[in-house]
Amino acid sequence: MSLKDKINLQKLPKHIAIIMDGNGRWAKGKGKFRIFGHQNGVKAVKESAEACAELGVSYLTLYAFSTENWSRPKDEINALMELLVSTIRKETSTLQKNNIRLKAIGDLMDLPPKCQRELQEAIEETKNNTRLTLILALSYSAKWDMVNAIKQIAEKAANHQLHPQEINDMLIDQHLSTKDYPHPELMIRTSGEQRISNFLLWELAYSELYFTPVLWPDFTREHLYEAIFDYQQRERRFGKTSEQVLKP
Ligand code: IPE
Ligand code: IPE
Ligand code: MG
């Protein structure tokens, strides 16, 4: 029996975020170069997106390249950017077929122009799709996003468009690159690392965190079902007591 049958479709997370980690170690374990791991990670991206779309999860955010990843060796960065371009080119028709809308968050202007073009084209082409929104975090870090948001808010305050007393949770939300999406209820990280690595610091404030030792290229839809099932067994209290949460 697939774990899929155990998932309560009435209690699905609307938004799942994933830190796709472990490509390098996966490749090393096979005596190959790191990029071989990245190439083999594409399959896991496809499986996760298709599984989310089939189940009825509305948003999937994938951490694909962080601000800090720019410090990696040039060769690896170039290969990753090439992989991004070729994957988008190859997969846009599948996104269309599966009614998946592509979006991106991050400092996209820092991506090579070819990447930016390819990404924008795919975003434009899939913009009317409605089943799943797939958000790629590229050249993204939560601190970068928060600094940007604070700059915008400070400018508005300086221009008297906004009074500092009006700054609240919601206003900050509206100035982040994730403003159009609900906060993720579930965050998954593969490869056994148990850290956030500058991913969605604000938005993960009350997310359920799920860590699995599985390396990203080995991550299948069954692993995703397992994470969702685990999430569904948890009691989300948001600061309240268990009794309060259970009261009808
Ligand atoms: C995640 O895998 C992919 C990116 C960060 C681009 P890694 O490349 O970090 O793989 P490990 O963590 O070194 O195994
Ligand atoms: C986090 O993975 C970023 C992505 C998955 C894109 P890293 O492998 O870069 O994270 P750290 O540096 O080991 O925490
Ligand atoms: Mg890593």
Q: Which of 1-10, 32-41, 108-117 has the lowest mean pLDDT?
A: 1-10
pLDDT of the residue at 1: 77
Phi, psi of 198 (to 5 degrees): 65, 30
C-alpha 38 to ligand 2 mean position (Å): 13
Please say if the pLDDT value at position 247 is more than 90.
no
CA atoms within 13 A on the CB side of 149: 21
Alpha carbon distance, N-terminus to C-terminus of the chain: 33
pTM for the model = 0.98
Is pLDDT larger for residue 142 or for residue 2? 142
What atom of ligand 2 comes closest to residue 65's alpha carbon? 6
Is 15-233 in CATH node 3.40.1180.10? yes
Q: Which ligand is nearest to the CA of 199?
A: 2
Q: Which of 18, 65, 69 to mutate to test the pocket of ligand 2 (most atoms within 8 A of CB)?
A: 69
Q: Show the ligand 2 pocket: residues with CB < 6 angstroms.
A: 19-21, 63-66, 68-69, 193, 195, 197
C-alpha 117 to ligand 3 mean position (Å): 27
Please say if the pLDDT value at position 248 is more than 80.
no
Q: Using an 8 Å Cβ cutoff, are 177 and 105 in contact?
A: yes
Core vs surface per residue 196-219: b (16+ CB within 10 A) or e: bebbbebbbeebbebbbebbbbbb
Q: Which residues does the annotation mark as catalytic?
A: 21, 69
C-alpha 240 to ligand 2 mean position (Å): 33
CA angle 99/101/105 to nearest 5° reads 160
What atom of ligand 1 comes closest to residue 34's alpha carbon? 8
What atom of ligand 2 comes closest to residue 19's alpha carbon? 5
Q: How far apart are CA 163 and CA 167, in angstroms?
A: 7
- What is the arithmetic mean of pLDDT over 164-186? 98
Phi, psi of 38 (to 5 degrees): -65, -45
Other Cβ atoms within 10 Å of 155 Cβ, number: 11
pLDDT of the residue at 2: 86
Q: Show the ligand 1 pocket: residues with CB < 6 angstroms.
A: 20-25, 65, 69, 80, 191, 216
Please say if the pLDDT value at position 238 is more than 90.
yes
